[in-house]
Structure 1
Amino acid sequence: MSERDSGSSGRARATTQPTARASFGAFVRKPVERPVANAEKAPAAQEMCAESAQSWPDDAVEVGAIVDAYGLKGWVKVAAHADAGQGGDALLSAKRWWLENGRERKSAPRLQSKVHGDSIVAHLAGTADRDAAFALRGYRVYVRRSDFPALNADEYYWVDLLGLDVVNEAGVELGKVAGLINNGAQSVLRIEYPATGKDGQPVTDERLIPFVGVYVKTVDQAAKKIVVDWEADY
């Protein structure tokens, strides 16, 4: 066995021992090269369109934000929450992007996208020139979870781990996954659990458990449970 944590997705691998990996956002770097992804040109009718809360997909996951225009032909520059190859490649493969800025929502077919330095640049339907692309600056970019690339059996997107119950091998409940942290060496589960404060009032406390094979024994997404080799008093 083996998203910046703001509800974004990420990829984590439980390894037999911690190994150093560079990372971007909420994803552990996996040493693999990804080719530039070019979607087929969308039909003319499939241009950028307005969306509402009702038409917004239930499985939309924030994966980046448009920070600038790129070039003169309508391309945008995206600061991705994860590097391509660690889950940010959803920006390279999803056929449609969902955009949100405040209360305004829209979506557009992705015509082309590619890695450019530490960001991703893309051409969306409906942005024919630099001015149109610049007008999208500040929009957060979402991709449907169903459009995320498939993972290996020992890899998990962070968004799929959030909310899972964590118990140890003795069956003691340790809390729920509230977030993940990348410390440069491995992913770390941030687990919240109810506790009592010094004033006797209920508070929320947290545990940090490295997401490595020596501690994480099983991840059962269907049962929404993670079993760890970890004591409650650690």
Structure 2
Amino acid sequence: MAERVCVGAIAGAFGVRGEVRLKSFTSQPNDIAEYSPLWTEDGKRSFTVRLTRPVTGGLGARLSGVESREAAEALRGVTLWADRARLPVLPDDEFYHADLIGLSVYDTGGVLLGKVRAIYDHGAGDILEIFGAGRKQTLLLPFTKEAVPTVDLTAGRIIADPPGEDE
């Protein structure tokens, strides 16, 4: 498991005094500030975060060390990462997306289907994108108990029962 987890991204500047528009990837968007300091992906910069107000497309926030619109705009697209130790412990049947990406996925017969390449949430539940050598296209798998009965983070694998595979 990674030492840090991506919890948000900077969508651009907001206002003229260094405020940023922040996109939160946490289940409760305002919780992102509780995980400060947040780091850039390369770990070279860290910021304390103070939320200021809701804004269109995210949250208004002040980041430590960002004092001008130009400095805020220069951070557009930067992802923000929290130390895993600052994040809440999840129940046994919930997972951080970062922990699932890269896991090997096997069907119930033990055949390797590929690895989790990405996870999407379009509002109706998470979808795992699985890609592997020899696959002509990616497999999109609903992340439900029926389609994914077992996630074993310790062993680094997922057991899947893709819908329509046994028909």
Note whether the superposition's TM-score is higher than 0.5.
yes
Task: Provide closer, same or farther for how the CA distance between residues 177 and 136 of structure 1 changes in structure 2, counting only shifts above 3 A.
Answer: same
Aligned to 2:72: 136
CA-atom RMSD, angstroms?
Answer: 3.0
Counterparts of 2:82 and 2:10, CA distance in 1: 15
Task: Provide, for residues 174-197 of structure 1, a one-character-per-residue CA deviation record: whole Å limited to 9, x for no partner.
Answer: 1111112224312111111222xx
The CA deviation at 1:58 is 6.1
Give the gaps of 5 or more residues in structure 1. 1-56, 196-202
Q: How many residues align?
A: 160
Aligned to 1:152: 91
Aligned match of 1:24: none
TM-score (norm 2): 0.76
Structure number with the bigger relative contact order (C-alpha 8 A, sep ≥ 6) is 1
* C-alpha distance after superposition, 1:77-102 (max 9, x if no partner): 2134x3x425x5562222212247xx
Quote the Cα distance in structure 2 between the aligned partners of 1:220 and 1:189.
Answer: 15
SS where residue 95 of structure 2 aligns?
Answer: strand
TM-score, normalisation: structure 1: 0.57
In structure 1, the residue matched to 2:22 is 78
Deviations 1:112-170 (A, max 9, x none): 2256144122222234x5xx254221411321341333323221121111110111221
1:1-234 mapped onto 2 (5 Å cutoff): 59=4, 61=6, 63-70=8-15, 72=17, 74-80=18-24, 82=25, 84-85=26-27, 88=29, 91-99=32-40, 105-110=44-49, 112-113=50-51, 116-117=54-55, 118-127=57-66, 129=67, 132-139=68-75, 140-146=78-84, 147-195=86-134, 205-230=137-162
- Over the matched positions of the two proteins, sequence identity in percent amounts to 26
Contact 2:3 2:83 in 1 (8 A): no
Look at both structures and tell me which one has the larger radius of gyration over its CA atoms: 1
Which structure has greater helix proportion?
2
